Amino acid sequence: MTDIIIETERLIIYAASREEMIKFIESQTVDVLKLAYEEMLNGCLNNPDQWEWYAIWMIELKNGTHIGELCFKGLDSNGTAEIGYGISEKYRNNGYATEAVKAVLKWALNNSNVSAVEAETDFNNAASKRVLEKCGFILNGKIGEEGPRYTISRY
């Protein structure tokens, strides 16, 4: 497990500990989210040397207010990680997702094991598409489970 903390102008972003993840999972009321977060915890426990690539990353305002989460879905043998993110509805349209994704991308792409980061978003999710575009992702021509896939490369 790692103690990675990334600070931006307005945010603190960190990979949650086992205890933080368990508490967060227990607080979930949406079954599909609870299941996804449980899968992340299991990924962490099964790959403790790659904790940050499976963990729930907490996104907080500098005052400690929790406003969202992001995650990577592992790091494959080619050095590609997939990122996912979400901001609580109350805090959307303030640029927080873009700020968080840019900061975590900088961290990820500075990691020598990472060659690229991918993301996918629903065809109708204009806000998420804008986040990806503002962060430098480009369409890669593939369609994933949720929609078009985007890539940003270290090279």
Q: 107-119, pLDDT tens digit by residue?
A: 999 999 999 999 9
Q: Which helix or strand (DSSP H or E) is residue 65 part of?
A: none
Domain covering 5-115: architecture: 3-Layer(aba) Sandwich (3.40)
Q: pTM of the entire structure?
A: 0.94
Q: What is the pLDDT of residues 126-150, one digit of tens each?
A: 999 999 999 999 999 999 988 999 9
CA dihedral 9, 28, 70, 10 (to 10 degrees): 0
Q: How far apart are the first and last CA of the chain?
A: 28
Domain parsing of the chain, residue ranges: 5-115
With bands split at pLDDT 50, 70 and 90, how would you rate the model's confidence at 2? low
Share of the chain above pLDDT 70, in %: 99
- Please count the other Cβ atoms lying within 10 Å of the Cβ belonging to residue 50: 17
The pLDDT value recorded for residue 154 is 83
For strand 80-87 and strand 116-120, is the pairing parallel, antiparallel, or unpaired? parallel
